[in-house]
Copies of this chain bind each other. A is one copy, B any other.
Amino acid sequence: MLTYQLKKQPGLPLYEALYRCIREDIRTGRLRPGEQLPSKRSLCANLKVSKITVENAYNQLLAEGYISSREKVGYFVEAVQQLPPQTPKASQTPPPEGKLLDLSGNGSPRFPFTVWSRLQRQVLLDYGQKLLLPLPNQGIGELRQAIAWHLGAFRGLEVNPEDIFVGAGTDFLYNLLVQLLGRDKCYGVEEPGYSKIYDIYRCAGARCTLLSMDKSGVLPDAATQVLHISPAHHFPTGLVTPLSRRRELLKWVGAEDGRYIIEDDYDSEFRFAGRPLPTLKAMDTAGRVIYMNSFTKSLAPSIRISYMILPSSLMEALQTRLGFYAGTVPSFEQYTLARFIREGYFEKHINRMRKFYKARRDTLLELVAQCPRRLQVLEEGAGLHFLLRVDTALTDPELVAACAQKGLKVRCLSQYYRESPPENCRGYLVINYSGLGDADIEILAKVIKTL
């Protein structure tokens, strides 16, 4: 028979105390699933409480699914989730890792933990209660000022902090843009390209058109009204849109009302040779270019901070029509990042990473050069990937399978096409080297030699 010491506590009805005792026993497994509970009558006699107390407790347990009743038989313990174990030690739960060396995804740049952690402590001390206030939906002023300053100093882009909108990742911002520019518009995206962009516009309800690329990038087709491109460095081809094409695109966007260009500048920080061309945003005099960037590549994918820079008229429209949206980035991360930029750490980090990635790229290029078989490297001047042309009789799926068999997870250029890829794009591996360790390079070297 269940026996509990039920004490009267101020504010806690007796039935509630009983309910809690039984629930605790069920949750800890002392009462096992399927076990029958005493009848109400016998329990109230045993505990010396009124029948209504037991009745209320049982009803609460019934309502919450801890027990069930079978007519004329009695009450039975249900199978419920048990109490969780203690917080697991980090060392016991290593990140899930595939067995293959993965060249298709994003890596984690070497992150300045010590600095970040110190800034976090400073932010906590300096801002305190201020960190708890509701946030301006476009991001805190300090962060927008810091971003504007960074873009001015290191990207040659003069922007008004008031035109910056900060969000938890570009996915959210793309969705916001569809709601701002209209889902009745037709969004042109690059083919081949980063397939997610197409997916997001489609799922947001917009019409989409795939724009094939020539050697200067894309040109919008007749249907396109909003053009989404990454002129600084196209993924996966690595192409940089030359100035002449940039001028053509700006001419196109200005030629008709309601046209816009979304300039995705996602990894422009990692350019290894020469100076980057000015952004379309910097060249835009008509107020039709929306600039986007993210700290995902330049800091870490787990820091969910992206931003866009809108023409002032669009920012006004956004705040008027969509101003009800709350901000999406925690204040704490925003203040920390603002300091990280303002105090020069972001620039230092980028420079360090650029050197690091360049060295890694050079190692890979050397490896390729030493290969007996003819391999050709293309578009290696920027970003964190290059194309490796393999002179092979294998089809692309066969090539990918052959690499996988040797422990190398990699994708072909043709796999980044949504529609059927042109015949001449066969045999190009997309080598994304941002996430490789030293040991990985050795594996890669071995695989390349056998290609």
Specify which of B148, B175, B199 is in contact with A175 (CB 8 Å cutoff): B175
Bound complex: CA of A175 vs CA of B109, how far in Å?
31
Residue A254 at the B interface, CB < 8 A? no
Bound complex: CA of A326 vs CA of B203, how far in Å?
14
Cβ of A131 and Cβ of B302 under 8 Å apart? Answer: yes
Residue A90 at the B interface, CB < 8 A? yes
Residue A16 at the B interface, CB < 8 A? yes
Chain A's interface size range is 35 or more
Cβ of A168 and Cβ of B172 under 8 Å apart? Answer: yes
Those of A211-251 within 8 Å (CB) of chain B: none
Look across to chain B and name the residue whose beta carbon is closest to the beta carbon of A156.
B64
Contacts of A121 in B (CB 8 A): 117, 121
A171 and B326 in contact, given A81-B158, A205-B205 (Cβ under 8 angstroms):
yes
Cβ of A84 and Cβ of B275 under 8 Å apart? Answer: no
A104 to chain B, nearest CB (A): 12
Bound complex: CA of A95 vs CA of B160, how far in Å?
21
Cβ of A152 and Cβ of B108 under 8 Å apart? Answer: no
Interface readout for A128-142 with B: 1 if CB under 8 Å, 0 if not? 111111110000011
Residue A69 at the B interface, CB < 8 A? no
Residue A105 at the B interface, CB < 8 A? yes
Those of A343-358 within 8 Å (CB) of chain B: 343
Look across to chain B and name the residue whose beta carbon is closest to the beta carbon of A90.
B126
Bound complex: CA of A349 vs CA of B84, how far in Å?
20
Specify which of B124, B135, B149, B160 is in contact with A301 (CB 8 Å cutoff): B135
Residue A60 at the B interface, CB < 8 A? yes
Those of A318-365 within 8 Å (CB) of chain B: 321-322, 324-333, 338-339, 342-343
Residue A258 at the B interface, CB < 8 A? no
Cβ of A81 and Cβ of B152 under 8 Å apart? Answer: yes
Interface readout for A415-432 with B: 1 if CB under 8 Å, 0 if not? 000000000000000000
Bound complex: CA of A200 vs CA of B124, how far in Å?
33
Residue A303 at the B interface, CB < 8 A? yes
Cβ of B81 and Cβ of A148 under 8 Å apart? Answer: yes
A379 to chain B, nearest CB (A): 21
Residue A34 at the B interface, CB < 8 A? no
Cβ of A134 and Cβ of B158 under 8 Å apart? Answer: no
A446 to chain B, nearest CB (A): 26
Residue A86 at the B interface, CB < 8 A? yes
Cβ of B326 and Cβ of A169 under 8 Å apart? Answer: yes
Those of A68-99 within 8 Å (CB) of chain B: 80-81, 83-84, 86-90, 93-95
Cβ of A301 and Cβ of B132 under 8 Å apart? Answer: yes
Contacts of A338 in B (CB 8 A): 87
Cβ of B124 and Cβ of A117 under 8 Å apart? Answer: yes
Residue A445 at the B interface, CB < 8 A? no
Contacts of A205 in B (CB 8 A): 183, 204-205
Cβ of B302 and Cβ of A135 under 8 Å apart? Answer: yes
Q: Would you mind naming 23 contact pairs between A and B with Cβ atoms under 8 Å apart? A: A27-B153, A60-B156, A63-B283, A64-B157, A65-B282, A84-B149, A87-B142, A87-B339, A87-B342, A89-B126, A108-B133, A117-B124, A120-B124, A168-B172, A171-B326, A175-B175, A200-B324, A203-B321, A301-B326, A302-B331, A303-B330, A305-B330, A332-B333
- A-side interface residues toward B, CB under 8 Å? 16, 27, 60, 63-66, 80-81, 83-84, 86-90, 93-95, 105-106, 108-109, 111, 113, 117, 120-121, 124, 126-135, 141-142, 145-146, 148-149, 152-153, 156-160, 168-169, 171-172, 175, 179, 183, 195-196, 199-200, 203-205, 275, 277-278, 282-283, 300-305, 321-322, 324-333, 338-339, 342-343
3 closest Cβ pairs, A-B complex? A64-B156, A302-B331, A108-B132
